[in-house]
């Protein structure tokens, strides 16, 4: 007994979300449904590849013909995350990924405004310094600045998520990207956390959270220009005090702007493998 593929019966459905489907039909020379099913399973490949996505058998439909000795079978293949797939515990495939982001606000202390207007004939000329005390010290103010968190979920094969890889991830947390990564310039991504969970015997679900910032160049702070800083560097100003002639009080004079690198960097592309 055997199953024979029907000529020109192959049909492929390619979908934009890559949840492709594939179909073949067979005639089976076997009078019993169980025997016919076994013959079809033996004849049909368990896996087929469509546009680089691996599809597996998700359904076999057996039907009768006018000849008792012959049956016709329709075999369907689909990706794990297709609606036709019965593997509900495996909604996505190995090497797939999911991306989300969140944008909100966080407070940041600044000591200098980008512009400041004084009012009153006896008001001291304090430049752009904010909340200057009588002794000339600058208290600054907390403002709301954008905060963006990027979350990427990757389904990595078991061969990648080995103990040495997990140790490398631990060392990468709290570091910024040393090279261009995921479309961001060096220094714009700060790795906040990595969470991994084993999924069956095939792969791992690994979630990466990044804080996203913006590198800046050509800044002017406290009258000092041509300042550059990467997104997660810390900028601070050193002041000296001198007497302000109009109000007869001390005022701050910026004598130095410092950009402190407080995070080490790492090659995310080589380490994270995403």
DSSP conformational letter for 40 = H
DSSP conformational letter for 232 = T
What percentage of the chain carries pLDDT values higher than 90? Answer: 57
CA-CA distances (angstroms) from residue 120 to 107, 129, 135, 247?
Answer: 30, 17, 20, 11
Tell me the domain boundaries of the chain.
3-78, 97-215+263-272
Averaged confidence pLDDT in the chain: 89
Q: pLDDT grade, residue 84 (50/70/90)? A: low
Give the integer Cα–Cα distance in Å for 74 and 58. 11
Would you say the pTM of this structure is higher than 0.75?
no
Q: In what order do the strands lie in the sheet with 203-212?
A: 97-110, 141-157, 203-212, 189-199, 176-177, 265-266
Which residues lie below 8 Å from residue 132, measured CB to CB, with a gap of 6+?
A: 124, 126, 138, 139, 251, 252
Q: pLDDT grade, residue 235 (50/70/90)? A: very high
Give the H or E element holding residue 104: strand 97-110
What's residue 86's pLDDT?
53
Residue 191: other Cβ atoms inside 10 A: 21
Question: Alpha helix (H) ranges present in 31-188?
Answer: 33-43, 163-172
Q: Looking at 131-135, 171-175, 186-190, which range is the least confident one?
A: 131-135
Mean pLDDT along residues 239-264? 89
Q: Which of 49, 55, 56, 60 is nearest to 26 (CA)?
A: 60
The tally of CA atoms less than 13 A away on the side-chain side of residue 235 is 20
Q: Give me the phi and psi of 34, to 5 degrees please.
A: -65, -45
Sole residue written with tokens 């998700």? 58
Q: Give me the phi and psi of 207, to 5 degrees please.
A: -110, 125
What's residue 96's pLDDT?
81
Alpha-carbon dihedral 77, 81, 86, 87, rounded to 10 degrees? 120
Q: pLDDT grade, residue 91 (50/70/90)? A: low
Radius of gyration of the chain (CA): 32
DSSP conformational letter for 6 = P
What's the token pair of residue 199? 């999924």
Q: Which of 217, 218, 194, 205 is nearest to 266 (CA)?
A: 194
């Amino acid at each position: 007994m055997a199953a024979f593929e029907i000529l020109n019966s192959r049909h492929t459905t390619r979908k934009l979300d890559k949840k492709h489907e594939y179909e073949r039909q067979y005639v089976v020379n076997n009078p019993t449904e169980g025997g016919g099913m076994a013959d079809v399973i033996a004849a049909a490949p368990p896996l087929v590849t469509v546009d680089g996505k691996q599809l597996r058998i998700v359904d076999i439909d057996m039907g009768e013909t006018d000849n008792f000795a012959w049956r016709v079978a329709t075999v369907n293949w689909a990706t794990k995350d297709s609606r036709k797939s019965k593997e509900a515990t495996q909604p996505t495939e190995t090497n797939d990924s999911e991306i989300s982001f969140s944008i909100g606000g966080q407070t940041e202390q600044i000591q200098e405004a980008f512009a400041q207007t004084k009012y009153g004939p006896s008001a001291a000329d304090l430049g752009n310094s904010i909340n200057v005390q009588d002794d000339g010290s600058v208290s600054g103010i907390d403002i709301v600045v954008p905060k963006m968190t990027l979350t990427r979920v990757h389904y990595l094969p078991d061969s990648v998520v080995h103990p040495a890889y997990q140790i490398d991830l631990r060392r990468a947390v709290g570091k910024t990207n040393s090279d261009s990564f995921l479309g961001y310039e060096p220094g714009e991504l700060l790795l906040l956390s990595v969470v991994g969970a084993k999924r069956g015997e095939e792969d791992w679900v690994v979630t990466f959270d990044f804080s996203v910032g913006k590198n800046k160049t050509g800044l002017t702070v406290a009258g000092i220009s041509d300042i550059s800083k990467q997104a997660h560097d810390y900028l601070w100003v050193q002041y000296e005090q001198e007497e302000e002639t109009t109000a007869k009080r001390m005022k701050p004079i910026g004598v130095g702007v410092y950009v402190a690198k407080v995070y080490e960097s790492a090659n995310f592309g080589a380490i994270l493998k995403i």
